[in-house]
Amino acid sequence: MTARDLLARDRRSVWHPYNASPAVGPIYPVRRAEGTRLYLEDGRELVDGMSSWWAAIHGYGHPALVEAIERQAKDMAHVMFGGLTHRPAVELSEKLASLAPDPLERVFLCDSGSVSVEVAIKMALQYQQGRGRPKKQSLLTVRGGYHGDTFGAMATCDPVNGMHTLFRGALPEHHFVPPPSPSFGEPWDEAHIGELKGRLEQRGGEIAAVILEPVVQGAGGMRFYSPRYLERVRELCDEHGALLILDEIATGFGRTGRLFGCEHAGIAPDIMCLGKALTGGMMTAAATLATGEVAAGIRDSAPGLFMHGPTFMANPLAAAVSLASIDLLLQSDWQARVAAIEEQLVRELAPCRELAQVKDVRALGGIGVVELCDPVDMDVVQPAFVDRGVWIRPFGRLVYTMPPFVIEQGDLSRITGAITQVVRDHT
């Protein structure tokens, strides 16, 4: 079957993310993926600059991860988690609790990042009920955030400029304040937290939790903001009886140069969401971590149980490969790798600053961003990247890269060179 045949069959039955059906815009059939390369059905080879939506931090087909899945599949591919348990789930929960900032200690294993956010929201609401604060039923967050595509998660995404405005009338209405500031590395002033502080002072009696992406606002705009903002949010949550939920789905497992983004601020949330790189991009899996206090509050709420239970939660294959991925990360010199990626991104994306169509260029950890003045034309820009032998998937006004941590210097230069050329010639 040729690439053309596969695309024709795709158009007859497949519905792609954030797309129409049949698909509009270019679609590229992949035959296999290995290391930091995607090999297309038509014979072309692409350097992966996206880590498959930020998840494949070890590249593709790493032997240790493949072996973990194969070994676990021989014993047990799946078993329901209601009334049962198994070694991979217990060991993964112990591992996550040991790595997460204290006092996070309870781990709810689920099957996608959006679901982990849904779990976090439900935990916060049940906790407040259990603590005798039933009026605390809404959330406070910032504009420019992104927390997932399911309904509860969508309701905490930017209601005006986010991708979910179509559903605004059907979603719960939460409290929004301006995006966090100042930018990462810029001087702090207490005025930066003024509106969030004011909202908690005015409406704290109805706010169950504050939810944020720590240090990096991901799909909502790739903004990097001051860790001091997080520190003050932690203090204000404590003052007003609100839980702090940190969405570490994109930032967790080293992407910002720290194991978790909240480590930049030296704080711990009450609830933490993990996903994406948890399995090294091998399978879908996620987790929601909570403190013992949150667990106790839920025990004290009617009916004394947490009311959530995905069919595939704690899937043994996903748990086993998550353990292998975490071990692989921790046994490597990942901090030095990510620091080297950041330094190279800063240096090699700098020429984009001179382009008239560029609004900003920034890098943090394994994230490099070129922000444009106007949205890109994906029908033009996407093929231009493929023609240059790299896989970059821009959105809106953002051309960005989040490469695998194992990327070699020459391949990263190929990515940054392609970004500079495509932004210069096609935007």
Catalytic residues: 18, 146, 247, 276
Which residue, among 2, 14, 23, 3, has the nearest Cα to 378 in the 3D structure? 23
Amino acid, single-letter form, for residue 322: S
Contact 131, 300 (CB under 8 A): yes
Give Cα 197 distance to the centre of its chain. 26
C-alpha distances out from residue 82 to 115, 132, 224, 302, 315, Å: 17, 28, 40, 19, 12
CB of 129 closer than 8 Å to CB of 301 = yes
Contact criterion met (CB below 8 Å) for 234 and 262 = no
For 27, counting Cβ atoms within 10 Å of its Cβ (0-12 exposed, 13-18 middle, 19+ buried), the class is: middle
Determine the Cα angle at 199 with ends 121 and 145, to 5°.
Answer: 50
Return the structure tokens found at 55: 């998840």
Q: How far apart are CA 250 and CA 108, in angstroms?
A: 18
Characterize the bridge pairing of strands 138-142 and 175-177. parallel
Question: Is there a contact between 317 and 70 (Cβ–Cβ < 8 Å)?
Answer: no
What does each C-alpha distance from 311 to 80, 111, 236 come to in angstroms? 7, 9, 37
What residue type is 382 in one-letter code? Answer: Q
Which residue in 25, 240, 248 sits closest to 120, CA to CA? 248
The DSSP-derived string for 276-296 is GGGGTTSS--EEEEEEHHHHH
- How far apart CA 224 and CA 235 sit, in angstroms, is 21
Tell me the one-letter amino acid at 316: P
Residue at token pair 């559903």 = 167
